[in-house]
Amino acid sequence: MRLGVAASLVGDALVPGDVSVDSGRVSGLGLAPAGAAGLAVPGFVDVQVNGVAGVDFLSADAGGYARASRALARTGVTAFQPTLVSSPIESVGKAIATLAMLDPMPGARVLPAHLEGPFLSPLHHGAHDPRHLLAASREVADSLCGLGPVGYVTVAPEIEGGLALVRHLVSRGLVVSLGHTDADADAAAAAFDGGARAVTHVFNAMRRWAPRDPGVSGVALSRPDVFVTAIIDGVHLARETVQLLLAAAGSRLVLITDAIEAAGLGDGTYHLGDREVHVRGDEARLADGTLAGSVLAMDRAIRNLISAGASLELAVGAATRAPARLLGRPDLGELRVGGNADIVVLDGSLEVARTLVAGGEVYAA
């Protein structure tokens, strides 16, 4: 099957010509004759999304996941990590067990869960209910991971037992990110040396950078082995901060949405776990004004990043190759002959025109 596109983004190269797909795989790139319009790029990968389209992943059933999968595909996402915020352990366990029973989805692929908590700092709990935070515990972590697919955990390494938990989770093959943390530079460096691979929504809910106390954000930006995840929605980070990230992190920058169930639905009152969230415009906040996730879509995050000065190649890479590398998933985030045909076709305004997962069309504008 030919897609009829004018060009494709293969690595950092714009390749003129059409793309073909057969049996769920990319079978040709740069084919003549080229289509009339459209740019084929790898499917987007979101490593932090709490919900979308009225679905909160902490309480979602199989039908909710199907609705979310379709909604995310409309924004170009072809694979996502359901993110579970700090909540009663029983609720988190039930959500993980639901993941274990899911059938293949009609839209974006469901990846193993991202546990954003409960092993976080009470000093930087953000929108997380501090009543649900716990000291770092291998036993609790292992119990949760035993209930279903978990692939990624955000940890504050400076809390009691935090560094040991980082090392333990890494030894189990999980991706560890540092976030909601008061870690100083030494604690952050020790955790990264212990195998942590990323920082969660950089500059938000963490110790502030200072000239002689750079904290986790400063350490992450200074290390070439650390990925930096960021919410580029015009709310969480100033434009100049985004430009700093582009200069310092470059290809290590990973776009996340941190979207909540309100994404795609407009203003109103919603939930993030058991917390009530008020949405107005682009802002999602608790009653006290604390930011509580976002209503961002991944295609818009890419356009926002380009507006801040990123090249098309870097911006798309921040939603495709970079998160795939962070997760250690060479089957995601790349267009290559023989690779998975998870593909997004963008129009001239970089809006999503089509989304394909395993070569099957799951969205068409």
The pLDDT of residue 76 is 98
The closest alpha carbon to 21, from 337, 327, 296, 233, belongs to: 337
The pLDDT of residue 175 is 98
Question: In whole angstroms, what is the distance from residue 342 CA to residue 307 CA?
Answer: 26
Residues of the chain within CATH 3.20.20.140 domain(s) are 44-332
CATH superfamily, region 1-42+335-365: Urease, subunit C, domain 1 (2.30.40.10)
The pLDDT of residue 267 is 98
Cβ-proximal residues to 121 (8 Å cutoff; 6+ apart), any chain: 133, 156, 158, 159, 180, 181, 182
Catalytic residue numbers, as ranges: 258
The pLDDT of residue 307 is 98
CATH superfamily, region 44-332: Metal-dependent hydrolases (3.20.20.140)
Q: With residue 192 as reference, give the H or E element that holds it.
A: helix 185-193
The pLDDT of residue 250 is 97
Residues of the chain within CATH 2.30.40.10 domain(s) are 1-42+335-365
The pLDDT of residue 36 is 93
- Which ranges of the chain have pLDDT less than 70? none
The closest alpha carbon to 276, from 262, 266, 297, 263, belongs to: 262
Question: In whole angstroms, what is the distance from residue 335 CA to residue 321 CA?
Answer: 10
